[in-house]
Amino acid sequence: MDTQALLEAWEAGHRLSPQGWALALLALARPDQEHEALAALSVGQRDARLIALRNALFGSALSVVERCPQCQEELEVEMDAQPLVLPPSPAAQERHELQAEGCMLGFRLPSAGDLLAASACGDVDAAQRLLLGRCVLAASMNGVAIAPAALPQAALAALSDRMGELDPQADLRLRLHCPCCRHDWPVAFDMLPFLWREIDAWARRLLHQVHELAAAYGWAERDILAMSPTRRQAYLSMSVA
């Protein structure tokens, strides 16, 4: 993805939901793939691609800032993002079976398209009902067919756990250690907002450079963006001097 395409992806992020932006970003990175194919990815498959794209754009070094829940010390943890890509999960179209709490379920994993549709719902409950209706393909209790919404909470909890087992990339957890109090704890890590913050910071730095060079030399934005970062920085140094 070149500089102009990445800047357009950043601009699109201000008018799309996070789920829509994730698909738009992957589409820009893989113009050979149709939107329907990207939307059909399981959430874990989508997130693995986002991590790979992030590594290609910014390198695999990753800095995570978290506060220790026990002593409240703020920690900045440096790590390599490459090991965060887990073995591939099953396709979102693949059917799975689960028996729990007297219920028999046929289900599939949520897809990137499912999350996009859920993000358009008015509230969390509506989004959960939509995902349940899409992902539960068949449900019965004591041999009697029931609607997915009628499943007991214990069965839904078992379903959520099983989905997490099948697609761990979609619910990535980091194990952190506090050197101050020696407390260990798991932290959920979502690449999507993390990547947005990185691209947002990159875009704002770049636009500031464009502003400075345009003011100093009268160049058009397209000509400045066409320069390599090294050349842009060299001109910036001369304009300041």
51, pLDDT greater than 60 = yes
CA distance 6 to 118: 26
CA distance 10 to 5: 9
241, pLDDT greater than 80 = no
CA distance 191 to 139: 33
The sign of the torsion formed by the CA atoms of 102, 107, 109, 110 equals negative
Mean pLDDT across 68-87 = 92
- Per cent of the chain over pLDDT 70 is 99
H runs (alpha helix) in the chain:
3-12, 18-29, 35-39, 43-58, 112-119, 124-135, 153-166, 191-217, 221-225, 229-240
Q: Burial level of 23, CB count in 10 A (0-12/13-18/19+)?
A: buried
Mean pLDDT across 103-129 = 95
Order across the sheet with 136-141: list the strands. 96-100, 103-107, 136-141, 144-145
Confidence of residue 90 (pLDDT cuts 50, 70, 90): confident
Residue scoring higher pLDDT (106 or 239)? 106
What pLDDT is attached to residue 240?
64
CA distance 221 to 236: 14
pTM score: 0.89
161-220 pLDDT, tens per residue? 999 999 999 999 999 999 999 999 999 999 999 999 999 999 999 999 999 999 999 999
